[in-house]
Amino acid sequence: MKINQYGTQSINPYHKSFEKQTSPAQSATQQEDKVEISAKAKELLKSPDLMRERQEKIAQLKAAIENGTYKIDRASIAEKMVNFYKQQ
Q: What is the pLDDT of residues 16-53, one digit of tens each?
A: 666 666 555 555 567 888 999 999 988 888 888 888 89
pLDDT band of 83, cuts 50, 70, 90: very high
Report H helices in the chain.
13-30, 39-46, 48-67, 74-87
Q: Does the pLDDT value for residue 82 go beyond 80?
A: yes
Q: Where are the domains of the chain?
A: 48-87
Does residue 84 or residue 47 have the better pLDDT?
A: 84
pLDDT band of 11, cuts 50, 70, 90: low
